[in-house]
Chains A and B, each alone.
Chain A
Amino acid sequence: MPNMSPTKYKMPEQDPIKRNKNFNEVALGYTHELAIEEAMRCLDCKHMPCVKGCPVNVDIPGFIKALVGNNIPKAYEIITSTNSLPAICGRVCPQESQCELLCVRGIKHEPVAIGRLERYVADTMLEKTITKKKNITKNKMKVAVVGGGPAGLTCAGDLALLGYEVTIFEAFHEAGGVLVYGIPEFRLPKELVKKEIATLTKLGITIKPNMVIGRILDIEELLVDFGAVFIGTGAGLPRFMNIPGENYNGVYSSNEFLTRINLMKAYKFPEYDTPVRIGKNVAVVGGGNVAMDAARSAKRLGAKNVYIIYRRSEDELPAREEEIHHAKEEGIIFTLLTNPTKIIGDEDGNVKAIECIKMKLGEKDDSGRARPIKINNSEHIIDVNTVIIAIGQTPNPLIKNTTSALKTHSWGGIIVDDDTMQTSIDGVYAGGDIVTGAATVILAMGAGKKAAKAIDVYLKNK
């Protein structure tokens, strides 16, 4: 008999007043009892609508059933047969617009907390670190994966399972992509990312760090040693606003700010050598998940007032509702319908204020959202010492610029065949943010999986 509670079981969280001063994880995860209760809310629908909402088609009712039967190893096996990074996805996937959106329980009440259950199963198994040895028959064929983010890792994992010898070339000193340099510790603990990546690489994947492809080796050279190449280099190029004063000291791109904190551990300065500068007041420009991550990080580093400056209204904020909610709880100030016009510095070149203009909403634009319109003579000044620009990223042009035969869109994304993820070069595939522009972890993983399948077909017929 299913549990008919109309709402999800709440997941314990750190108190907002305490957590906005530390980098420990905000959400603490279900206890075993809570997980079982929540799992019992699943109706085990025969037509499994939730599965269609999952970009990697996890057998959701299947794993939940195993969990209800208290067989966590089996639940883990079901999840990992299609999703190799479940502890990560359980935390960062936008379930509300994917699996949980289609959950039958969600029609009248709250959907089953699928993400939280996925997280529970993965965390429990990672703690035990009993990974079953998989029997893989090696086929002696080699594939190169460029970029060790979710797209590259997933593609590599699936190919390794099929017996390929896979080498990941990663530009940074560590694999993980946005999972290690972008998403903060308090939302996604890095130890856990490490463990989940280690589980994957045990399949026989070699990770070569410090390899910037396009410089040390290029795609053509990789094709000499490898039968196929997958490019999953993400959307790493920060966008700036092109307003006066953007080069004053104290203006960061969200990429720089978050990389210093997450990858380089500036939040542990001076134990770690990399510094990050946080003033008393901080403005974060933008309204997406990246902006929320930057704002909440700034607060934790001791900023008194942290403003999110966004040109549309609350309804249009692109960030996940959960992130907005968490940010508000932690005391982030939302300055909506406001757009920066200029950054003002002192005589030493340090930021001292940001000038903004008020906006109102007009007709819908191409993106389907109301177009923000300037309100004349509404300029006003907010005193800040740090400005973080989080208005989006586009693909890094390094590979495009060093691979002449590679076709790309005008905005920089690599053009691929939708079904196979093959690029304009034979044997070269691409997926993730480098193809779609900044998107989500799970979509990048889905693209990696699709490419792995196509690479398998390509190499077996070569």
Chain B
Amino acid sequence: MYEIVYKRDLNNNVKMMKVAAPLIAKKAMPGQFIMLRIDEHGERIPLTIAGYDRTKGLITIIFQEVGQTTIKLGKLKSGDMILDFVGPLGKASHLEGYKNACVIGGGLGTAIAYPQAKHLHDLGANVDVITGFRNSDLILLEDELRAISNNLFITTDDGSNGTKGFVTDVLKSQLQHKTYDLVIAIGPLIMMKFVSKLTKEYGIKTIISMNPIMVDGTGMCGGCRVTVDGKTKFACVDGPDFDGHLVDFDEAMMRQKMYHKEEEHKCKMEQHHA
């Protein structure tokens, strides 16, 4: 059992939790993830490690309430227990040796990109951060990101924060006058696809983070497979970071829809019973 020691709402449906898992906190690195199962009847889902505190033994997770498990998780309070919490899984991001990085986060992806941006900053790189949200109510981690970035750009789809547009628009205008040696893009597949397309034109190394459906997170089921450079890879052990220029995003988008019907059915049932 793993105790939730802290919980905070980051916006209406994004929540942050700190979970006591000292052994995982000891080893965790940016880019890695955990798998959790809330209770005996629960599903195992992957969540990126959004932060770790080695001395206090805490792992930070940030999640959006989108499916049955995240909705259930969102209902838990500080002091409650999570039955299973496994990690740190996946490969750590390789962030050494870069001078000028641009970290891009789309929606919830911003929370996942934050530890990478911070790590780059801690390693001495100049970090520009571009984040995009649907509207200004959904903006995440603004203060945290400002603290570790040279320039922070926040866009909204509806312009409700004053800057209307997509992250790719900002990236494009940045690239007119600036060179980056690394771009990290984390967010919806479609966003990562278009960022990668753009950076490819400029020949800038681009790391994206895949978050497919997973069962075990240890390489034993193959449910998390993605095609990278024409080869099948398992995101849980070969990733979750991959070279954005080589990932087959269209296939990944197709695979993500696999259980939509079942999710809907189950969510409807729960609403019905509630």
Contacts and interface: CB of A to CB of B under 8 A. Distances in A.
Judge: A and B partners, yes or no: yes
A297 to B, nearest CB: 15
Interface in A346-397: 348-349, 396-397
Contacts of A172: 216
A210 interface: yes
Given A212-B89, A216-B88, A273-B266, A349 B255 contact: yes
Interface in A160-191: 171-173
B41 interface: yes
A275 B23 contact: no
B18 to A, nearest CB: 18
Interface in B41-96: 41-44, 68-69, 83-89
Contact of B43 (A242, A274, A348): A274
B222 interface: yes
B27 A249 contact: no
Interface stretch (A13-21, A86-94, A263-271): A263-271
A215 interface: yes
Interface residues of A, number: 41
A242 to B, nearest CB: 8
Interface string A92-123: 00000000000000000000000000000000
Contacts of B222: 238, 240, 253, 255-256
Contacts of A236: 218-220
B266 A264 contact: no
Contact of A247 (B27, B42, B255, B257): B255
A173 B2 CA distance: 13
Contacts of A216: 23-24, 27, 87-88
Contacts of B219: 236-237, 396-398
B225 to A, nearest CB: 6
Contacts, number: 108
Interface string B13-35: 00000000001100100000000
Given A210-B84, A256-B223, A273-B69, A171 B218 contact: yes
Contacts of A252: 223
Interface residues on B, range: 35 or more
The secondary structure that dominates the B interface is mixed
Given A210-B84, A212-B86, A270-B269, A249 B258 contact: yes
A246 B269 CA distance: 32
A172 B37 CA distance: 11
A349 B221 contact: no
Name the residue among B24, B37, B86, B255 with the largest chain A CB count within 10 angstroms: B86
Contacts of A398: 218-219, 237
Given A240-B222, A269-B266, 19 more contacts: A210-B86, A215-B87, A216-B27, A236-B219, A238-B220, A247-B251, A248-B254, A255-B220, A256-B215, A256-B222, A264-B215, A269-B262, A273-B69, A274-B215, A275-B262, A277-B262, A348-B257, A349-B255, A397-B219
23 contacts: A171-B86, A173-B37, A173-B83, A173-B84, A210-B85, A212-B87, A212-B89, A215-B89, A236-B220, A238-B220, A240-B232, A249-B254, A249-B258, A250-B258, A253-B221, A253-B223, A256-B223, A259-B215, A272-B41, A273-B41, A275-B259, A277-B258, A348-B257
